[in-house]
Structure 1
Amino acid sequence: MVKDLRTFIADMEKNIPGDIKYVNTCMDPKFEISAIAEELMEQGQTPMIIFNHVKNNKGVDSGFKVAINTFASRQKCTVALGLPPEQWKMETSLRFAQLSAHRIKPVIISKEEAPVKEVVITGDDVDLYDLPILTHHEMDGHPFLVDAVIAADPDTGCYNSSHHRQMVRNKNELGLYSSPRHLWNYWQRAKAQGKPLPVAHVVGHHPGFYLGTEALVDMEDDEYEVIGGVLNEPLRLVPSETYGDKLLVPADAELVIEGEMLPDQMDAEGPFGEFTGYYGPQRWAPIVKVKAITHRKSPIYLNIMPGRLDHAIIGGIPKEGGLFDLIKLAVPTAKAIHLPVSGCCRFSAYISIDKMAEGEGMVAAITPFPYHDELKLVVVTDGDIDPFNENDVWWAVNTRAQADENVQIIRNIRGGTLDPSAVINGVGAKLIIDATKPMDRPFAEKINVPKEVRARIKAKDLDWA
C-alpha cells in the first residue's frame, strides 16, 4: 500500500490509538484551532487532532478536514518511521539517518492515477480563500501556509523540499519568506535570468515526507530521493498542471498549490508567530503568483502548528540523525544527541560521549555548528548521562562542570535569522558547556543500586497493598 497521510492515520489508530482525537464541531480557521491546541498543550496533551468540519476564509464549510499535532510527540514520528512507539529516543533519530541515507528514486504516474488530481482548479477559479488556511496567532498579518515548498534547481533539475511560511496576500498571491538556503539560492539564480521560479506547496502527505524535507543534505542532492528513502518506498510524482514535467509534484498529497516566485516583485510579509515563540517581524519577501490548486475529494489539510511541539519536533529528529553521523566522524565514541523541545528546540543540543581523551568534549560540541547554524547552546556529557533526560543533563552540568574552566563562548558566528536576541541579523554567539568528567584526576562516583539486585527485584513482581 502506498504511504500517505491516510495510511499514517490508520497506523496511529493501530499503534497509539489514544494519541489521535477527532472533533465534529465546525471550527473557524482564524485562531479557534490554535486556541484548542494551546489549551491542550497547557494540560500536557498533544494528541494528533483531526477537525472534521472547518470553515474556509469566506466563513463557509470548506469541505476539508484539518489535522494538527501530527509531529507533536516523538512517538508519532517513531511510528511514521516504522518503529514501535517505545523506541522514541535515539533509535528514532538513527532510523531516520539510516533511511535518509538510502536514496530511492521517485516514480512518475499519470494524472488519472494521482489522488491529488481528483479536483483541479486553474485560472480565474483559483481562490486561496476557499481553503481552510489557518491564522494562528493574534498578530499574524494574514492566514499562513506552513507546510513544505518544493522547487526544481533551475540548472540541474534536482528537487528541493523545505518548510517555508507563505502569507496569503489575496485570492491568488502569496508572500514567501525564505532564509538564505537552497530555495533562496534557486530563486536568486532564476531571478538573475529574469525568470520566475516554479514552486508548489504540499499540504498533507505522510509525515515521512515532511521529516525527509528536514534532512541535512547538500544542494546537489535530489530531496525527492531522500524523501523516498525516509518513506522506504519510491515517492510517486505527477506532472503539475501549470508546468508539466518541469515541476513534478507528489501524487499522493492531499492538496498541492502551484505557483511561481516572481523575479521582479517583492513586498512586506509578516508578522508571523514563529518556532521561537516570538513573532517574526515583517520582512521583504518575493511574491508567489498562484496558478493552480489540486486536491483529493474529501481532503485533509495538514497544518504544522507554529511555535509549538508540532513545529519543534519535526525539525529536531532529522537534525539529530544527521548531526550524530557527523559527530561520530569526529568523536567515534559519541553515544547520542538530542535537540530538546524545551528552550526552543532548534537552539539547543545535548550530546553524550564516552570520552577517551581530554578535549573530545569540545570537539563534539563544535562539530554541529557549520551544519546547523541556528544552534546556540551545546552541552556535552559523559556516556552515563541520557541526553533525553534533562534532569540528568543539568545534574551533570552542576556537578561535573565549573563555569571558569568548562564554559566556552564562540563569538561573531553565523546564527539563525529568526533569533530575536541577535543584534546583527543572522550573526550571534555559541555557548558550549563541557560537562564531562576530567580524566587527569580522580572524580566522585555516581550513586547506584547493585545491578544484580535491580535485575532480581522488579516492581511488577511485588504484592502491592
Structure 2
Amino acid sequence: MSKDLRSFLKDLERQMPEDIVRVKREIDPKFEITAIQQHLENQDKFPLLIFEKVKNLKGELSPFKVVTNMFATRQKCAVAMDLSCDQWRMETSFQFAKRSQNLIKPVIVSREEAPVKEVVKVGDEVDLRELPVLTHHEMDGYPYLVDAVIAPDPDTGVYNSSHHRMLIRGKDELGLWMSPRHLWNYCVRAAKKGEALPIAHVLGHHPGFYLGSEALVSMETDEYEVIGGVLNEPLRLVPSEAFGEKLLVPADAEIVVEGEVIPNFRDAEGPFGEFTGYYGPQRWSPVVKVKAITYRKDAYYMNILVGHPDTSILGGIPKEAGIYEEVKKSVPGVKAVHFPISGCCRFHAYISIDKKVDGEGKVAAIASLPYHDELKHVIVVDSDIDPFNEKEVLWAVATRVQASEDVDIIKKVRGGSLDPSSTIHAVGDKMLIDATKPVSRPYAERIKVPQEVMDRIKLDEWIQEV
C-alpha cells in the first residue's frame, strides 16, 4: 500500500494516539479554526486537529474534513520519517538527509488506480468556493491555499514542488505569490515564450511529500524523485485532467487543484500572514486560471498554519541536515544543527561542535551561511551544550561570549525576501556568534553534582510527588 495522508494518520494513531484531536462541532473556516489553534498554542499544545464539520466558502457544510497541525511538533515529523516519536532531534534530520539524497523515480498509474480521481470536476463544474479554504489571520485579504505547488520545467520537464500561498480570487481563479526561486524561474521562462505554465496545488498527502518539497536542491533535480526518496518508495503519479501527461500529479493526494499561470498578467495579491509572524505586503502577482479539481470521495482538506510551528518545523528539519553536511566539510567535529522556532526555523541556526582548535567556531558559522539565504544569525556552541535546548544555548552566549571578540557581522548580503527587518528587498546582514570556550587557555569549569551521587540517588525513592 502506497504512503498517503491516511497511512500517516494510522501510524500516528499507533505511536501518539493522544496527539490526534477530532472536533465534531460545525465550524467556519474564516478565523475560527485558527482561533482554536492559537488557543492551543497559547497553552503550548500542538495536537494534530481534524475538523469534521467545516463550512465551505459558500457558507454550506463541506463534505471535506479539515486536517491541520500536521507538522506542529518534531515528534510528528519523526513518525512521518518512519522513526519512533522520541527520535525527534538530529535523528529526524539525519533520516531526512539520507532519504532525500536517495532519489527514487516516480511511477505512473492509470486514472482507475488513482484515488485522487474518484471525483473529477472540469470546466464550468470547477468552483473553488466549494472547498473549506481557511482565512488564517485578521488582516489576510482573502482565503488562501497554502500547501505544495508542483510544476514541470517549461524546457526540461523536470518537476519542482514547493510551498506557495495562493489566494481565492473567484470560482476558478487564484493569485500566486512566489519568492525568486525555482517556480518563479519556471514562470519567467514560460512567460518569455508567451506560454502559460501548468501547475497543480496538492491539498493533502503524506507529510513526507511536503517535507520533500522543502529540500534545497538544484534546479536540475527532479523533486518528484526527491519526494520518493523521502517517502522511501516511488511516488505514484497520474496524468492531470487539464494537461494530460504534460502535468503529472500525485495519484494518492486527497485533493488536487489544476491550473495554469497566465503569462505576462498580474493583479493585486495580499496581504497575508507569513512564516515570519508578520503580514507580507500586497504585491502585483501572477494569476492562475483553474482548469480542474479532482479529489477522493471522502477527502481531507489539509491546511498548514503559516506563521506558527506548523510551517516553521516543516521548513526547519530539511535545512538542519543540509547545513550539518556543509559544516562537516570544514569542521569534522560538528555534532548537531538546530533551526529553532524562535527564529521561525529560517533565521536562526544553533550549531554544536566538538571544538579542537581556536577559530573552529567561526569557521562553522561561516560555512553554514551559503546553504540558505534566509539564515541571519548563527550561534556556535560546544558539544556540552544541547542546541535543541534554547535555555542552554543562551546560557552559553551569556557566559562564553565577549562581543568585541566573538561576534562578527557581515553587512548587506543576499537575504530572505520576506524578512520584515530588511531595508533593502532581499538584502540583509548576517551575525555570527562564537559561543565556544577557548582551547588555548584555561576556562572556568561548569558546576555539577558528582555523577556517582546522581546515579545513586533515585528521585522517586526520596520524593513521590513533585
Using the size of structure 2 for normalisation, the TM-score is 0.98
Gaps of 5+ in 1: none
The answer as to 2:8 corresponding to 1:17 is no
Matched, 1:346 2:346: yes
- Please provide the CA RMSD for this pair: 1.1
TM-superposed CA distance for 1:463, in Å, is: 6.8
Distance in 1 (alpha carbons) for counterparts of 2:415 and 2:26: 42
SS at match of 2:54: coil
Q: Does 1:89 align with 2:85?
A: no
CA apart distance, 1:460: 4.7
Amino acid at match of 2:374: E
Q: Counterparts of 1:422-433 in structure 2 under 5 Å?
A: 422-433=422-433
Partner of 1:397: 397
Measure how far apart 1:453 and its partner are. 3.6
Percent of matched pairs sharing the same residue: 65
Q: Matches of 2:90 and 2:455 in 1, distance apart?
A: 24
Q: 1:462: how far off? A: 5.2
- Alpha-carbon deviations, 1:331-381, whole Å to 9, x = none? 111000000001432111100011112221111112222221111111000
Aligned ranges 1:293-304 → 2 under 5 Å: 293-304=293-304
Contact 2:68–2:304, Cα closer than 8 Å, also in 1:
yes
2: distance between equivalents of 1:408 and 1:156? 42
Tell me whether 1:220 sits opposite 2:220 in the alignment: yes
CA deviation map 1:273-327 (0-9, x unaligned): 0111111000111111100000001110010001111011100111111111111
Residues 56-455 of structure 1 mapped to structure 2, 5 A cutoff: 56-455=56-455
Deviation at 1:455, TM superposition (A): 3.8
The letter of the residue matching 2:147 is D
CA distance in 2, matches of 1:461, 1:113: 59
- Tell me how far 1:62 sits from its aligned partner: 1.2
Q: C-alpha displacement at 1:461, in angstroms? A: 5.5
Contact 2:115/2:253 (8 A) holds in 1:
yes
Amino acid of the structure 2 residue aligned with 1:404: S
Q: How far apart, CA to CA, are the structure 2 residues paired with 1:8 and 1:253? A: 13
Gaps of 5+ in 2: none
Q: Secondary structure at the match of 1:25?
A: strand
| Structure 1 counterpart of 2:323, one-letter code | L
Q: Distance in 2 between matches of 1:202 and 1:331?
A: 39
CA deviations over 1:47-95 (Å, ceiling 9, x no partner): 0000011110000011000001000000000000011011111111111
Distance (Å, rounded) in 2 between the aligned partners of 1:159 and 1:188: 16
Distance 1:330 1:180 in 2: 29
Counterpart-to-counterpart distance in 2, 1:112 and 1:412: 54
TM-score by length of structure 1 reads 0.98
Query: 1-side partners of 2:202 and 2:149: how far apart?
Result: 6
Aligned length: 465
SS in 1 for 2:27: coil
Query: What amino acid is the match of 1:30?
Result: K
Distance 2:343 2:239 in 1: 42
Once the 2 structures are TM-superposed, how far is the Cα of residue 215 of structure 1 from its aligned partner? 0.7
- Secondary structure at the aligned position of 1:342 is classed as helix
